[in-house]
Amino acid sequence: MRIVITGGAGFLGQRLAQAILARGQLTDARGAVRAVRELVLLDVVPAAGSADPRVRTLAGDLADPMVAAAAITPDTASVFHLAAVVSGQAEADFALGMRVNLDATRQLLDRCRALPAPPKFVFASSLAVFGGTLPDPVPDDAPLLPQSSYGTQKAIGELLVSDLSRRGAIDGRSLRLPTVTVRPGKPNKAASSFASGIIREPLAGVEAICPVAPTTRMWLQSPQAVIANLIVGHEAPAAALAGRRSVNVPGISVAVGDMVAALRAVAGSAVADRIVWQFDPAVDRIVSTWPAAFAARHGHALGMRADDDFAAIVRAYLAEHAAA
Closest residue by Cα to residue 226 from 282, 305, 150: 305
Instruction: Give domain 2-177+222-250+294-307's CATH number out of 3.40.50.720, 3.10.690.10, 3.40.50.300, 1.10.580.10.
Output: 3.40.50.720
Residue 150 designated active-site: yes
The share of the chain scoring above pLDDT 70, in percent, equals 99
Summary mean pLDDT of the chain: 94
Share of the chain above pLDDT 90, in %: 86
State the greatest distance between any 2 C-alpha atoms of the chain, in Å, as a whole number: 59
pLDDT at residue 323, as a whole number: 53
Distance between CA atoms of residues 43 and 20, nearest Å: 18
- Give me the sheet containing 76-81, strands edge to edge: 55-59, 38-43, 2-6, 76-81, 120-126, 171-177, 246-248
pTM score, whole prediction: 0.94
CA triplet 181, 187, 192: central angle to 5 degrees? 50
pLDDT tens-digit series, residues 153-188: 999 999 999 999 999 999 999 999 999 999 988 777
Of the listed 123, 130, 150, 290, which one is catalytic?
150
Pairing state between β 217-221 and 252-255? antiparallel
Q: What is the pLDDT of residues 260-315, one digit of tens each?
A: 999 999 999 999 999 999 999 989 988 888 889 999 999 999 999 999 999 999 99
Domain boundaries, the chain: 2-177+222-250+294-307
Structure-model confidence comparison of residues 185 and 84, the more confident one: 84
